[in-house]
Amino acid sequence: MDLFALPKAAIRTQVALLKAPVNIYSSITRQDEGGEAADTRRSALDGIVGSAKEILGAALDNDRLVEEGRIQRTRAERLSEAATNETIAKAERKQAQSEFLKRQQKVQAERQAAEEQRRREEAEIERQREEEERRVRAQAAQKEQAVNQKAAARRTAVAKEQAAVTRQRAQGKKIAARTKSAANAKRAEADRLERLAKQA
């Protein structure tokens, strides 16, 4: 088909007919879909339509249609770049979130490990303290027992010494009594002999 041989009105009609399926599909995707996939498809369709307008505008020598097509194509390229950047940004955010979660889990694990280590150290310190207390109590008990044994031994020795002194005192009293009795007997005998001598 020779486009330059056709009237402009007929070409515009054909352009409209060619654009109709694209516009219908674009309208359906706008209504039924959302998100990056729909935005990407819409920008791709806009780019196709814009390029078609540029080609047809050039064929029809219609600068306005060429400019409109260029603007639409440029806008589609910007939207495509924006969608691509958004996809990259989302991937980076997802990766950053994943790394953050990993770091958080690592920090949590390290915190738990440190807490476990602290509890083990505290338990070991408490065990050593209790062991030291038992050792000190055992030593104190041994010293107290030794002191009590020495005191008991001293009391026994003192008691034996006192008993010996008491026995010696009793024996001394007995000896003194016998000596006194003997002396009294001798004194009485001397008195008797003295009286006999006076009578003679």
Residue type, 46: D
Residue 47 clears pLDDT 80, i.e. is over it: no
Q: Which residue has the higher pLDDT, 72 or 40?
A: 72
Q: How many CA atoms lie less than 13 Å away from 51 in the CB half-sphere?
A: 8
pTM over 0.85: no
Residue 38 pLDDT: 62
The helix, strand and coil proportions of the chain, stated in percent and rounded to the nearest 5, come to: 95, 0, 5
Report the mean per-residue pLDDT for the chain.
Answer: 80
pLDDT digits (tens, 9 = 90+) for 54-109: 898 888 888 888 888 888 888 888 888 888 888 899 999 999 999 999 999 999 99
